Amino acid sequence: MPRTVRFFVGVAIAALATLLVLEFAQSISGRRVPRLVERILSLEFVPASLRNAECRSGATTDVIATCVFEISQSDFPVLLRGRAFNKEVVSGTNHDFAAYAIGQAFSASARYLVQPAEFKHGGYVSLVANAERTRVQVEIYQE
């Protein structure tokens, strides 16, 4: 195959990859954010009190997405039902526990972490919350 053809094939592949990443970024905005949170936490539905949600993902060979949102304190336990999280007491801000620092930082007091067995090549699901359990950050990383 001539060099110029290989060059243009490479450019076309890079352009397609960029379009796919942009499409994914759009798909996690707005109304689709609750669906992403459901997938990350392995829930059938997120509580209706979920609000002010924002997510970000990156263009890597791995799956990584971070979401932040607010929720009613009484609905917080629902977020933990889908996975067998281990709880740890933490300090700092939610940004200290995220690949992407999105939204306004909040004081973190607890981190719930699990390394799902279905992530055959490694990874984790993390949930960070404030002391009141009203501000939450969730993140998925899968190799």
Q: pLDDT tens digits, the chain, 143 residues: what are they?
A: 677 766 655 544 544 444 444 455 544 455 578 999 999 999 999 999 999 999 998 767 888 999 999 999 999 999 999 999 999 999 999 999 999 999 999 999 999 999 999 999 999 999 999 999 999 999 999 98
Q: What is the pLDDT of residue 45?
A: 93
Cα–Cα distance measured from residue 54 to residue 10, given in angstroms and rounded to the nearest whole number: 33
Q: What is the pLDDT of residue 62?
A: 86
Q: What is the pLDDT of residue 33?
A: 87
DSSP track, 34-50: HHHHHHHHT-S---TT-
pTM of the full predicted structure?
A: 0.77
Map out the domains of the chain as residue ranges: 3-142
**Nearest residue to 137 (alpha-carbon basis) of 86, 78, 65:** 65
Cα–Cα distance measured from residue 40 to residue 87, given in angstroms and rounded to the nearest whole number: 17
